[in-house]
Amino acid sequence: MTLSHFFAGRLDRFAFGSPERARQRAERLCEASPGRAFALFVVAAEAGDAEASFRVGECLVEGKGTPNDLVEAARWYHRAAIAGHVRAQCGLAQLHLFGLPEAAVERDAGLFEPVASSQADFHAAEIWAHRAADAGAADAQAMLAYIFSAGPPDLRHPEAAFDWYRRSAEQDCPQGQLGYAIALMMRDSTAENLAVARQHMLRAAEAGLPTAHYLLGVSAERAVGTPLDEVAARHHYAIAAKAGLGKAQARLGLLLLEGRGGAVDALNGETWLRRAGLGGDADAAAMLGGIYAQGGALPPNYAESAHWFRIAAERGHSAAARALGMLYLTGAGVVRDPDEAAIWFKQAAEAGDPPAQGSLAALLQAGTAASLTDDPPPVHEWFERAAEQGDLLGAFNYAVCLAEGFGLPRNDERAAFWLKRAAEGVVDAQYWYGRMLADGRGVAQDEVQAAIWFTRAANAGMAEAQAALAEIHMDGRGVPRDHQSAKSWFLRAASEGHAGAMFALGALHAGGHDIEPDLPQARRWFMEAAEGGNPRAALMLARYAARGLGGPLDIEAGRRWYVQAQALGLPEAADELAAFERSLAIDGGMAAGMPTGADAPEAA
C-alpha cells in the first residue's frame, strides 16, 4: 500500500464518524474517486443526512461511482424529499414522470429489492414538483407547468400552467423560457405576444434547448412573429437536428432537398430524412415514401417507397397507410395484393382518412377484400357521419352505400337526397344524380333536369357523363335530338378512353343516323372499342372483318373477334360464328351467309 492510499483510508475511516464529515469528504472525492465518494455518501445518508441522500440518488441517476439505477435513485431522493430537500423533490418529480411505481419509493424495508418500472405517474410527480415549486425551484416550476398543461385531464389547469411557466421564466430557467414562449403563442397570437414569446424562445435556444431551436426554425420558415427567413430556418433546424430532434431532422432534410435557405443538397437532405425516419419520426418516413414514389431526376423507386410508407404506417401515419394500400392495390414496388391493400386502407380509414375510407368501400363493394368479408368495417357509418358534418365526398359515398344497399338496407330516396347534396361539389355525384333523375329512381323522373346534371359533370371532364349526355342527344331525351352534338360528346369521352363512346362513334359512322356514313371510320372506332374490352364492338368488328366492310376482308380476324365477343359474354356471337363457318364451307370463303343485319350495325 502506498502512503497516499494509507492516508486516504485513514481519512475515510475518520469521515465515518460524522455524517457531515463523510459527506464533505465524498464531495471532495467526487471527481478523483467516484466509487469511494459514493460509499461515503451512502454512509452519510444512512445516518440521516438529507443532502447525502440526494447525492446518492444523483449518483444512481448518473451512474457515477455505481451502476445506473433510477428506481434506487428514486428511493434515495424520497428520503431527502420528505426531509424538505428541494432539489431531491425536483429530482423525484422528474423520475415519476419517467414512470416509477409507488412501491419503488414508499417501502422502508428491502430498499435494494428489484422493482419493475411502470408508466409515468403524473399525480405523484405533481405532489413533489409542487413542493419544490412553492420553495422557488425554477426547474420544478417549469415541470409543474408541464404537468398542468400536458398531464391527465383531472390535473389540467391551463391558467396555473401559464402562471408557473411565467414564474420559472422570470428566473431564467431555459425550460421555463421555452414553456412560457409556447404558452404565450397559444394564448394570443397578437404581434406583441409573438414578439415577447420570440425573446423567451431565443433565450431558451441560447441555453442549448433543441426544441427551442426547432420552434425558431418553424417560425422563420413560416414567418410567424418574424419575417420569412429560410436561411435562419435551416440554421436553427441544423442545430436541433444535430442534437437528435427528429422533427428538426425531417424539416432540415426537406429544406436541403428543395434548396430552400441555401443550395440544393440532395445527399444530406435524404440522409437527414432517413435519420429522422429511422429514429421514429413518422412524418419523415412518410415524406421519404412520397419522394421515392414521385421520383425526380431518376425514375420512381416504388420498392423503396413501400419500405418507408410501411415504417410510417406502422407508427400510425394514416396518409402513409393509405399510400401503402394503393401500392398493394396497383402492385407498384410490391406484389399486388388487394387483401393487404384493404388492411392498410382499413387502418387509415379508422383513423379518419376520407380517401382511405372511399378506397376501402370500393374494395368491399367489388368483393376483392376477402380478409374483411367476415367482419366488414362500418364504412357506411363513417360516410354518414362525414355527410352530416357537411363533407360532400362523404355525402356521395354514403349515397352510394344507400343506393347499393352496402352495409345497410337499400334506400333510393335517401340516396337521391344525399347525391343531390353532394352534387354541389362532387362531379361523380352530379353524374349519378342525373342518372337517378333520368331513370326516375328515388325521385320523380325528370329528363330535363337529368340533362342539366349530365352537362355539369360532362363539362367538368367526366367521361361517363360525356357519354351519357351524348346518348340523350342521340335520342332527344331532355334535350333536342342532335346527332352532331352527340358525336362531339362521344369524341370527348372516347379521348378519355371510354370504350362505350368508341363503340357509339363506330355505330354513328356506320350509317342510319344524321351523320354521313364512313365505314372505314366505323371500323376504326369498333377496333378501338373492342381493344378496350367492349363486347358489342368485338361483335361488330368480327362482322366487318368477315365481310370486308370498311377495310380488307380478313377471315382470321373475323373468326378471332367472334370468339372474343363470345368470351366477353355475347351468346349470339357463337351462332354467327357457326353460320360464318358454314358459309365458308359452302362457298369457299365468301361470307354470303352472314346475317342480313350485319351491314347495318346497331346503335350505341
8-state DSSP, 372 = G
Q: Residue 19 in contact with residue 48, Cβ under 8 Å?
A: yes
Question: Residues 6 or more apart from 211 whose CB is under 8 A from it?
Answer: 178, 204, 240, 245
Q: Residue 468 in contact with residue 460, Cβ under 8 Å?
A: no
Does 177 reside within a domain?
no
Q: Compute the distance between CA of residue 357 and CA of residue 365 in angstroms, rounded to an integer.
A: 12
Cell, residue 61: 441517476
Q: Residue 395 in contact with residue 386, Cβ under 8 Å?
A: yes
- The boundaries of the domain holding residue 534 are 498-584
What size, in residues, is the chain?
604
Q: Residue 383 in contact with residue 419, Cβ under 8 Å?
A: no
Strands (E), 167-292: none
Report which of 597, 478, 583 is spatially closest to residue 536, judged by C-alpha positions.
Answer: 597
Q: Compute the distance between CA of residue 229 and CA of residue 578 in angstroms, rounded to an integer.
A: 78
CA distance to 381, 418, 440, per residue, from 413 (Å): 18, 9, 10
Kindly indicate the confidence band of residue 114, based on its pLDDT and cuts at 50, 70 and 90. Answer: very low
Residue 139 Cα to chain centre, angstroms: 37
Mean predicted confidence (pLDDT) in 508-529: 92
Own/partner pairs for 22-28, CB < 8 Å, 24+ apart? 22/47, 22/49, 22/52, 23/49, 23/51, 23/52, 23/55, 26/52, 26/55, 27/55
For residue 588, the model assigns a pLDDT of: 56
Strands (E), 373-465: none
For residue 119, the model assigns a pLDDT of: 74
Q: Compute the distance between CA of residue 219 and CA of residue 211 in angstroms, rounded to an integer.
A: 12
- In three-state form (DSSP H/G/I as H, E/B as E, the rest C), the secondary structure along 56-74 is HHHHHHHCCCCCCCHHHHH
Q: Compute the distance between CA of residue 51 and CA of residue 301 in angstroms, rounded to an integer.
A: 60
Q: Is the dihedral of CA 284, 285, 289, 292 positive or negative?
A: positive
For residue 54, the model assigns a pLDDT of: 95
Does 296 reside within a domain?
no
Q: Supply the DSSP string of 490-527, one letter for each residue.
A: HHHHHHTT-HHHHHHHHHHHHSSSSS---HHHHHHHHH
8-state DSSP, 477 = S
Task: Give the tens place of pLDDT for each residue, 565-590.
Answer: 999 999 999 999 888 888 888 765 44
Amino acid 464 reads E
Does 580 reside within a domain?
yes
- Among all chains, which residue has been given the C-alpha cell 464529515? 21
Task: Give the tens place of pLDDT for each residue, 396-415.
Answer: 999 999 998 888 899 999 99
For residue 104, the model assigns a pLDDT of: 52
Mean predicted confidence (pLDDT) in 544-573: 92
For residue 365, the model assigns a pLDDT of: 74
Q: Residue 329 in contact with residue 300, Cβ under 8 Å?
A: no
Does 505 reside within a domain?
yes
Q: Compute the distance between CA of residue 78 and CA of residue 84 in angstroms, rounded to an integer.
A: 10
Q: What is the CATH number of the domain that holds 511?
A: 1.25.40.10
Q: Residue 44 in contact with residue 22, Cβ under 8 Å?
A: yes
Q: Compute the distance between CA of residue 420 and CA of residue 404 in angstroms, rounded to an integer.
A: 16
Please provide residue 211's backbone torsions phi and psi, each rounded to the nearest 5 degrees. -60, -35
Q: Residue 501 in contact with residue 494, Cβ under 8 Å?
A: yes
Rg (CA), the chain: 38
Q: Compute the distance between CA of residue 445 and CA of residue 327 in angstroms, rounded to an integer.
A: 42
Q: Is the dihedral of CA 592, 597, 600, 601 positive or negative?
A: negative
Report which of 246, 239, 170 is spatially closest to residue 205, judged by C-alpha positions.
Answer: 239
Q: Compute the distance between CA of residue 494 and CA of residue 404 in angstroms, rounded to an integer.
A: 28
Kindly indicate the confidence band of residue 310, based on its pLDDT and cuts at 50, 70 and 90. Answer: very high
Does 346 reside within a domain?
no
Does 567 reside within a domain?
yes
Does 579 reside within a domain?
yes
Q: Is 298 helix (H, G, I), strand (E, B) or coil?
A: coil
Q: Give, rounded to a whole angstrom, the gap between the first and last alpha carbons of the chain.
A: 109
Task: Give the tens place of pLDDT for each residue, 366-390.
Answer: 777 776 767 778 888 888 888 898 9
Q: Compute the distance between CA of residue 600 and CA of residue 604 in angstroms, rounded to an integer.
A: 12
Task: Give the tens place of pLDDT for each residue, 146-196.
Answer: 999 999 999 999 999 999 999 999 999 999 999 999 999 888 778 888 889
Kindly indicate the confidence band of residue 105, based on its pLDDT and cuts at 50, 70 and 90. Answer: low
Task: Give the tens place of pLDDT for each residue, 249-306.
Answer: 999 999 999 999 999 998 899 999 999 999 989 999 999 999 899 876 567 899 999 9
Q: Compute the distance between CA of residue 241 and CA of residue 253 in angstroms, rounded to an integer.
A: 9
Task: Give the tens place of pLDDT for each residue, 66-85.
Answer: 999 988 999 999 999 999 99
Task: Give the tens place of pLDDT for each residue, 311-356.
Answer: 999 999 999 999 999 999 999 999 999 999 999 999 998 898 888 8
Please provide residue 151's backbone torsions phi and psi, each rounded to the nearest 5 degrees. -75, -170
CA distance to 272, 294, 334, 360, per residue, from 298 (Å): 20, 10, 19, 32
Q: Residue 377 in contact with residue 360, Cβ under 8 Å?
A: yes
Report which of 349, 343, 342 is spatially closest to residue 367, judged by C-alpha positions.
Answer: 342
Q: Is 391 helix (H, G, I), strand (E, B) or coil?
A: coil
Q: What is the tally of structural domains in the chain? A: 1
Cell, residue 119: 408508466
For residue 17, the model assigns a pLDDT of: 55
Report which of 184, 180, 247 is spatially closest to residue 218, judged by C-alpha positions.
Answer: 247
Does 547 reside within a domain?
yes
Q: What angle is formed at CA 437 by the lines to CA 355 and CA 453, rounded to 5 degrees?
A: 60
